[in-house]
Amino acid sequence: MNTKKIKIGVGFATGRKHFQKVLKTYIYNWCEEYGLPQNKSIEIHPIVAYDLHFANAKKADFTNIRSDLKDLVSEIYFADAEFIKNETDEMVRRNVMNEKEARLIFGSGYAAKRNAVLYTALKKGMDYLLFLDDDEYPIAVTNTRSAAVWGGQHVLKTHLKYIKNADVTNGYHCGYISPIPQIAFNDTLKEEDFKEFIEALSNDIINWDTIHSLMKNGGITYADPGIITGERAEEVPEANHTKFISGSNLCINLTSPEKVHPFYNPPGARGEDTFLSTCLTDRKVLRIPCYTFHDGFSTYNHLMDGVLPIKLKPILPESEKVINRFYNCCVGWIRYKPLLLYITQREEYEKKIAQMRSTLSETLPKVSAYFGRDDFLKIRKELDRYDSNVQMHYQQFEDTKKIWARILESLRCEAESA
């Protein structure tokens, strides 16, 4: 009796030059999990959407994959600009969408790269799609002893165990998830001031309680041993009509394509995972027991060579790299907060935006003085700009879902006629 092969795509929306090293680590991880390539019951297809501008990379940084690694997995697909242009040109020709709509779905930004991966997975007949980031690795770290304790994680295998009975599965993250450094509060920036600043930027995931706890750990998130050793998956609770997920260590069930939503973020913002979260209220979303280690500052690449630190370094605001990452994340959060409020708490929208303006006017000068950076003051202008455009961004968000429905119908017809 022949059993149908399971086809799983593993998507990377990447721009970092060390991508190939990350891919090698995961391929070896999959070999351990599934005994590739001898295992004939599963096909694993890496799907790569790369950005040449993020770190001034070259095409070869992503496409020149070693032949011995290629031999361990099924076909590798590149959802690059050339592939997407050919696909969108054909869809424009067939009146599936127009050029403006093509740019909205597949243009620039984080959501566009994820949509390119998602489209490719659907077109190539994947059953499931696992998103992984290029700065996270299949290991977990705990601090239950005097030294850090590390353990490998069966990321793909755990997702595949649970995704068959869910629409979305989302694992956990440890390591350097938060961009907020450890702050020594003083007369320039008091703890209460910083708390108000974070709460002005925050959502149901980014909030003062979680941030304050992280800061006490030097900005490091350690894995929960109970989750690592357990096998229990829990449904993600709904909050403000949203089931919050992260954009990586994230698996999407593609066996019912009509239930799959696209990604969207306002121009120049992040939040593509957050806005997808607002589309999942009638979906089964599971938090599953597997971790990835997030190397948010790209300082632990040696983990992929088997070098395991005895102790993790705290995030201190002592370098431009750390301060820049914190600032850029603050800008990203403030750019998508208006649309998130508009979608989830529209009756309170004007009141909450007014509260944010007041809080930022009070706290931004103190934050700017503490970090010695005048550009923190620009965050208030970013709020004003994205507030003034929130209705346009909401319309884009809604249009994205309508365009995507036409794309799915086009793919269905294409599959039926093949």
**How far is the C-alpha of 326 from the C-alpha of 319, rounded, in Å?**
11
Mean pLDDT for the stretch of residues 123-149: 94
Tens of pLDDT, residue by residue over 200-217, are 988 766 678 788 888 878
Q: Are 298 and 135 in contact (CB under 8 A)?
A: yes
Full-model pTM: 0.95
Q: Is 2's pLDDT higher than 70?
A: no
pLDDT in tens, 357-371: 999 999 999 999 999
Q: Is the pLDDT of residue 1 over 50?
A: no
Report how far residue 88's alpha carbon sits from residue 371's, in angstroms, rounded to the nearest whole number.
Answer: 45
Name the residue with higher pLDDT: 128 or 231: 128
Domains of the chain: 6-417 (3.90.550.10)
Q: Check pLDDT > 90 for residue 407.
A: yes
pLDDT surpassing 50 at residue 318: yes
Q: Residue 169 pairs with which residues in a beta bridge? A: 251, 286
Four-CA torsion 32, 38, 41, 46, nearest 10 degrees: 60
- The pLDDT score that the predictor gives to residue 363 is 97
Between 290 and 55, the more confident residue is 290
